[in-house]
């Protein structure tokens, strides 16, 4: 490193200590990230800035900068979790292989002064990657679950550090991070020729179970600890779901807090993101986890099977939340597509459980594709626009709220459902319907949905002088 790195790191640390708000997202996070980036660029060695590194650095700054744009804490935590390894890649380079990219993403951790020596001195290099991965995954899922469920969030410990202590912590982390990034930039990962990329031929030979052998399979400690931590976290969250959401209690968080129904309707999107992320974790373990010994295979079945079963409960919770939400407000295209997507994710976890019986499932890719195709065909069979119109109209019959603006963007498939509205609402909604057919299709454009709509409108035509409904129509009926 150059002599100017330490003063620049101290300046960046002071800026971060003053600007970064630990308790919530804010502009200070972007200011602190920019200060660290400037310190690394100004005080580090003069090296050519390749396009890949520039894009990675810009991406890291943009992710941290989302703190000034979005107030959702869980979203910023995910952005921050991605920004750190991306910043490491910006100074280390990615190389031309997945392994080189993975090394570059964690290079900054071992370049922080003292970290590499500490890891080597305690002789636990095999435990550390799994522990780091487990903590990172647990933190990400905890943020998603806490945002999705206020009851689960109340179980988490409250951390409210004092101003001085928080500033000191930020200062230390910022200085160490700046020194680490500068150290990686001084000796980038690309400049060394890693021997790991030249895997011996025997590492590429097929395994005994017939599956192709990974070039460098994950050792047991690399994946057992993260999965065990996730199983524990998921078990706690599922316990909350079973006792509160599925128990049917009229739960109220406190005076002035949300009712049970309001509580249950929230969190669908966070749980969907958690389900998708869990599927990615299971895929990584299935692809790269070592399964050479019977103990390895038993652990995969136990930990992945448990995680998949718990995830199915989370899928059920997400679907129930969406069901309660739709019961109050009706379906939209986005809600119906998300509901279908969550059902597909649940079906994929069922396939994962089936594949875990023998830990060999050459049929799984085809089955996953077939699941998606069947779900899409099922959505077509449901007739989405007609089904959506039915839920919107059901809300009108319940409380008099008619979302005519949304009905007007639906296709001709919705006409038979809209036809069931009482007058004058039927005519004014149909008058504003963009997809209302006005003529019979020619043979080359024949369509069953438009044909049915045309027959409905020919039997009960809309008066030509009908004015479209207001965007949202409130009727006195309830």
Taking alpha carbons only, the member of 46, 275, 16 closest to residue 141 is 275
The answer to the question of residue 332 being in a domain is: yes
List the beta bridge partners of residue 218. Answer: 289
Q: What is the pLDDT of residue 97?
A: 54
Asked if residue 109 and residue 175 are part of one domain, the reply reads yes
Q: Residue range 125-141: average pLDDT?
A: 71
3-state helix, strand, coil split of the chain in percent (to 5) is 70, 0, 30
pLDDT (0 to 100) of residue 262: 60
Is residue 124 assigned to a domain? Answer: yes
Per residue in 434-478, pLDDT tens? 667 777 777 767 778 888 888 888 888 888 887 777 766 565 544
What is the predicted pLDDT for the residue at 252?
A: 38
Torsion of CA 170, 172, 175, 177, to 10 degrees: -80
pLDDT at 343: 93
End-to-end CA distance of the chain: 73
Which tokens hold the place of 161?
A: 């550090």
Kindly indicate the confidence band of residue 248, based on its pLDDT and cuts at 50, 70 and 90: very low
Per-residue DSSP letters for 109-131? Answer: HHHSTTHHHHHHHHT-TTHHHHH
Query: Residue 390 and residue 27: Cα distance in Å, rounded?
Result: 44
How many domains does the chain divide into?
A: 3
DSSP at 401: E
220 and 363 part of one domain: yes
Average the pLDDT over each of 158-162, 185-189, 242-246 and give the range with the smallest value: 158-162
Q: Which of 325, 227, 328 shows the shortest CA–CA distance to 269?
A: 325
pLDDT bin (cut points 50, 70, 90) of residue 96 is low
Does 188 have pLDDT greater than 70? no
Q: Are strands 401-402 and 473-474 parallel, antiparallel or unpaired?
A: antiparallel
Q: What is the pLDDT of residue 105?
A: 66
Q: What value, to the nearest 5°, has the Cα angle with vertex 257 and ends 251 and 262?
A: 60
Do residues 173 and 58 both lie within one domain? yes
Residue 380 or residue 210, greater confidence: 380
Which three-class secondary structure state does DSSP give residue 139? Answer: helix
In DSSP notation, 379-433 reads HHHH-HHHHHHHHHHHHHHHHSEE-HHHHTTS-GGGHHHHTTSPTTHHHHHHHH-
Q: How far apart are CA 357 and CA 341, in angstroms?
A: 25
Separation between Cα atoms, residue 392 and residue 332, nearest integer Å: 8
Tell me whether residue 166 is in a domain.
Answer: yes
Residue 201 placed within a domain: no
How far is the C-alpha of 430 from the C-alpha of 117, rounded, in Å?
73
Q: Are 144 and 30 in the same domain?
A: yes
Cβ contact 400:421 at 8 Å: no
Q: Which of 326, 277, 294, 31 is nearest to 142 (CA)?
A: 277
Cα distance between residue 212 and residue 207, in whole Å: 6
pLDDT, mean of residues 329-353: 89
Q: Report the C-alpha gap between 344 and 441 in whole angstroms.
A: 35
- pLDDT for residue 478: 42
Domain assignment present for residue 198? The answer is: no
Percent of the chain at pLDDT exceeding 90: 6
Q: Do 16 and 33 have their domain in common?
A: yes
Read off the pLDDT of residues 322-332 as tens digits, 9 standing for 90 and up.
887 787 778 88
Beta-carbon neighbour count of residue 62 at 10 Å? 15
- Percent of the chain past pLDDT 70, that is, above it, reads 68
Q: Which of 9-18, 38-47, 425-434 has the lowest mean pLDDT?
A: 38-47
Top-ranked range on mean pLDDT: pick from 93-102, 181-190, 227-236: 227-236
Q: How far apart are CA 53 and CA 69, in angstroms?
A: 24
| Position with higher pLDDT, 127 vs 424 | 424
Question: Is residue 412 located within the same domain as residue 462?
Answer: yes
Mean pLDDT across 307-334 = 85
One domain for residues 230 and 164: no
- Please report which helix (H) or strand (E) contains residue 22, including its range: none
| Range(s) of the domain holding residue 177 | 5-193
Q: Are residues 242 and 389 in the same domain?
A: no
- Cis, bond preceding 424 (omega within 30 deg of 0): yes
Helices within 44-126 (DSSP H only): 51-65, 73-92, 98-111, 115-122
- Indicate whether 81 and 225 sit together in one domain: no
Kindly report the pTM of this predicted structure.
0.60
Structure tokens that stand for 53 in this block: 């590194």
Task: Count Cβ atoms within 10 A of the Cβ of residue 300 and give its class: 0-12 exposed, 13-18 middle, 19 or more buried.
Answer: buried
User: Which residue, of 341, 361, 382, is where some domain finishes?
Assistant: 382
Q: What is the overall mean pLDDT for the chain?
A: 75
What's the confidence (pLDDT) of residue 308?
92
CA distances from 351 to 308, 347, 369 (A): 10, 6, 11
Residue 474 — φ and ψ, nearest 5°?
Answer: -110, 115
CB contact at 8 A, 312 and 346:
yes
Instruction: Please state, in angstroms and rounded to a whole number, the distance separating the CA atoms of residues 353 and 306.
Output: 9
List pLDDT tens digits, range 362-416: 888 888 888 888 888 888 888 888 898 888 888 888 777 888 888 888 888 888 8
**What's the pLDDT tens digit per position in 164-174?**
556 666 777 77
């Amino acid at each position: 490193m150059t002599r100017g790195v330490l003063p620049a790191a101290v300046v960046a640390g002071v800026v971060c200590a003053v600007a970064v708000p630990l308790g919530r997202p804010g502009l200070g996070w972007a200011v602190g990230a920019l200060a660290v980036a400037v310190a690394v660029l100004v005080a580090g060695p003069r090296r050519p800035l390749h396009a890949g590194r520039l894009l990675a650095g810009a991406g890291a700054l943009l992710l941290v900068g989302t703190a000034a744009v979005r107030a959702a804490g869980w979203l910023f935590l995910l952005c921050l979790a991605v920004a750190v390894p991306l910043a490491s890649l910006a100074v280390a380079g990615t190389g031309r292989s997945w392994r080189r990219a993975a090394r570059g993403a964690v290079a900054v951790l071992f370049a922080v002064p003292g970290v590499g020596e500490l890891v080597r001195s305690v002789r636990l290099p095999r435990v550390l990657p799994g522990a780091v991965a487990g903590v990172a995954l647990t933190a990400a899922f905890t943020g998603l679950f806490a945002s999705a469920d206020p009851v689960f969030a109340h179980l988490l410990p409250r951390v409210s550090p004092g101003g001085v202590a928080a500033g000191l912590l930020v200062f230390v982390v910022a200085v160490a991070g700046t020194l680490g990034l500068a150290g990686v930039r001084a000796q980038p990962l690309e400049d060394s020729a890693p021997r790991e990329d030249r895997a011996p031929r025997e590492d590429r030979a097929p395994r005994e179970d017939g599956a192709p052998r990974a070039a460098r399979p994950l050792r047991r400690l690399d994946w057992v600890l993260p999965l065990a931590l996730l199983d524990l976290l998921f078990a706690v969250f599922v316990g909350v779901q079973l006792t509160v959401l599925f128990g049917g209690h009229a739960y109220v968080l406190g005076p002035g807090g949300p009712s049970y129904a309001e509580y249950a309707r929230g969190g669908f999107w966070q749980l969907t993101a958690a389900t998708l992320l869990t599927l990615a974790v299971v895929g990584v373990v299935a692809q790269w986890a070592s399964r050479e010994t019977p103990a390895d295979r038993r652990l995969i079945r136990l930990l992945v099977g448990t995680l998949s079963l718990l995830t199915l409960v989370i899928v059920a919770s997400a679907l129930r939340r969406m069901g309660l939400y739709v019961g109050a407000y009706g379906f939209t295209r986005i809600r119906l597509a998300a509901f279908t997507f969550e059902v597909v994710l649940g079906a994929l976890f069922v396939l994962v459980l089936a594949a875990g019986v023998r830990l060999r499932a050459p049929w799984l890719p085809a089955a996953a594709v077939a699941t998606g195709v069947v779900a899409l065909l099922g959505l077509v069979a449901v007739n989405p626009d007609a089904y959506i119109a039915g839920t919107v109209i059901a809300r009108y019959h319940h409380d008099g709220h008619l979302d005519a603006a949304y009905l007007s963007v639906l296709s001709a498939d919705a006409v038979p459902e809209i036809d069931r509205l009482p007058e004058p609402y039927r005519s004014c909604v149909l008058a504003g319907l963009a997809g209302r057919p006005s003529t019979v299709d020619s043979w080359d454009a024949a369509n069953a949905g438009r044909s049915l709509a045309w027959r409905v409108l020919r039997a009960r035509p809309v008066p030509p002088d009908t004015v479209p409904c207001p965007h949202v129509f409130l009727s006195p009926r309830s």
